[in-house]
Amino acid sequence: MGFYIKVESDVKIYVEDLNPSGCKTILFLHGWPADHTMFEYQFNQLPNMGYRCVGIDQRGFGKSDKPWTGYDYDTLSDDIRCVVDALDLHDFTLGGHSTGGAIAIRYMARHQGYGVSKLALFAAAAPSLIQRPYFPYGLKREDVIKIIQGTNTDRPEMLREFGDTFFFQHVTQAFSDWFFQMGLQAAGWSTAAIANTWLDEEKLFEDLEKIHVPTLILHGIHDKVCLFPLALAQHDGIRNSILVPFKFSGHGVFYDERDEFNKELTKFIEE
């Protein structure tokens, strides 16, 4: 069932709520530059196992409204709080991929983990997607600037190049085209704005310390977007966290090893 939830007077967020009567709820936050349909291979399986799966399109992406502003992690986490309140979610697992993982971390800090009983991070873009003087991991700053420039000059080509680095396992041309079209659903300005947020955002280092729920970290060792040392930093910074390296996955861990991904996620929720 798909519907819209108003998060500001002129901004609505698109939400899919699968198996609303499920015994346990998972709220999925997609990564850049995709939308909630990137979790298709979770949504195909987990509701049949009794889970309620809620997927949202972040503002600027998928079927959600695409305002000119609001692409900082504070505002994006506030959008999540609006969804949580509107659906009256309690005792749920919050799961986020890549930038969605960073937003999930900000939600835990900014909203004191409201309603969340467990946190799951999938190739999360945290505590910093880029290298910094005190954090010699992640992408080079100029690599992200190149993405922004590509977004503003030839977004389809930028998306193609980015998609080529996303998965470690072989994907068919049809699958690659599907993933490419997902990125095109976003607005160009929101695509660039999120990349600018990667450059400016440093508070996630502090946010990690404010997470007090059991946390699962699933990360591909071949990830070329959020490099594996980011997962190690998350594990070090979050108390009561479990890190599961995926030996045959890149950034698209949710698809590269989808059966193992679903297994580890549901096992964590049931523990």
Residue 168's Cα: distance from chain center in Å? 18
User: Does residue 256 have an active-site annotation?
Assistant: no
* DSSP secondary structure code for residue 97 in this structure: E
Give me the pLDDT at residue 217, please. Answer: 98
* pLDDT above 90 for 1: no
pLDDT in tens, 27-76: 999 999 999 999 999 999 999 999 999 999 999 999 999 999 999 999 99
Which residues touch 149 (CB under 8 Å, ≥6 apart)? none
Band (pLDDT 50/70/90 cuts) for residue 115 is: very high
User: Does residue 222 have an active-site annotation?
Assistant: no
Mean pLDDT of the chain: 97
Give me the pLDDT at residue 192, please. Answer: 98
Q: Helix, strand, or coil here: 77?
A: helix
Which residues touch 249 (CB under 8 Å, ≥6 apart)? 168, 169, 219, 220, 221, 222, 223, 256, 257
Radius of gyration of the chain (CA): 17
Q: Which of 98, 128, 190, 249 is catalytic?
A: 98
Q: What domains are defined for the chain?
A: 2-270 (3.40.50.1820)
How far is residue 223's CA from residue 240's CA, in Å, rounded to a whole number? 24
Q: Number of helices and strands (H, E) in the chain?
A: 10, 8
Report the percentage of the chain scoring pLDDT > 70. 100
- Please count the CA atoms within 13 angstroms of the CA of 116 that sit on its side-chain side: 28
pTM of the shown model = 0.97
Give me the pLDDT at residue 60, please. Answer: 98
Give me the pLDDT at residue 245, please. Answer: 98
Report the percentage of the chain scoring pLDDT > 90. 98
pLDDT in tens, 197-229: 999 999 999 999 999 999 999 999 999 999 999
Based on the number of CB atoms within 10 Å of its own CB, is 40 exposed (0-12), middle (13-18) or buried (19 or more)?
Answer: middle
Q: How many residues does the chain have?
A: 271
Band (pLDDT 50/70/90 cuts) for residue 7 is: very high
User: Does residue 21 have an active-site annotation?
Assistant: no
Give me the pLDDT at residue 25, please. Answer: 98
Encoded tokens for 178: 């599907």
Q: Which of 97, 223, 241, 256 is catalytic?
A: 223
Contact indicator for 73, 129 with CB cutoff of 8 Å: no
